[in-house]
A and B are shown apart, each in its own frame.
Chain A
């Protein structure tokens, strides 16, 4: 059970793509920093992200959405308190 945190835009790097390749069924994906944009606009991996979102395994850090003036279309927004609890809930974390 791994919490994957991705911080770069899917339009800029393949971090999200590579993360999705290794995301197991028990894992959760948290988009932070520039990566929050992946929840707002369609990109090459958007469909897969949508699927993970439907399974309730996609989280988006709200302060990073607000900082960039965007809203998420998929995923559940969370604050830092939730981020802390996500880390606690998962065995480990990978920072992408």
Chain B
């Protein structure tokens, strides 16, 4: 059986909700069973990857360092929406990990390739 391509979409800011944290938990856990994962960061989701989180005083867990584990877990398809970065005056140099920037058309194509999508 061919392994299903699973795309995990991150659309939320970190810390205001557990979306980002629980998406990352799910990604790291699923990577042990599925080697065809792709991560998408769109809209406010791009802030998940902006380096320099320091949430201690908000009583939220500092989970950002775990993004660095993705490489070790062989999750290599990490796509970030270029337009979302630009809208927020951000650029890829400000991100914690190496990513592939995609324009809207490329993003649509990449999403269409996935067999299953989960969104957070």
A and B touch in the complex (CB under 8 A): yes
Is residue A44 contacting chain B, with contact meaning CB distance below 8 A? no
Shortest beta-carbon distance, B101 to chain A, in Å? Answer: 15
Shortest beta-carbon distance, A90 to chain B, in Å? Answer: 10
A60-72 to B contact mask, C-beta < 8 Å, 1/0: 0000000000000
- Option from A21, A26, A91, A92 in Cβ contact (under 8 Å) with B104: A21
Q: Chain B residues near A2: list those with CB within 8 A.
A: 111-112, 117
Which residue of the partner chain A has the closest CB to B9? A94
Is residue A18 contacting chain B, with contact meaning CB distance below 8 A? yes
A22 vs B109: C-alpha distance in the bound complex, in angstroms? 10
Known pairs A2-B112, A21-B104; A14 contacts B119 (CB<8 A): no
A2 vs B42: C-alpha distance in the bound complex, in angstroms? 17
Is residue A88 contacting chain B, with contact meaning CB distance below 8 A? no
- Option from B107, B114, B115, B116 in Cβ contact (under 8 Å) with A22: B107
Q: Chain B residues near A24: list those with CB within 8 A.
A: 108-109, 111-112
Q: Chain A residues near B114: list those with CB within 8 A.
A: 92
Q: Chain A residues near B43: list those with CB within 8 A.
A: 14, 18
Is residue A41 contacting chain B, with contact meaning CB distance below 8 A? no
Is residue B11 contacting chain A, with contact meaning CB distance below 8 A? yes
Is residue A9 contacting chain B, with contact meaning CB distance below 8 A? no
Q: Chain A residues near B111: list those with CB within 8 A.
A: 2, 22, 24, 94
B94-117 to A contact mask, C-beta < 8 Å, 1/0: 000000000010011101101111
Shortest beta-carbon distance, B19 to chain A, in Å? Answer: 12
A14 vs B109: C-alpha distance in the bound complex, in angstroms? 22
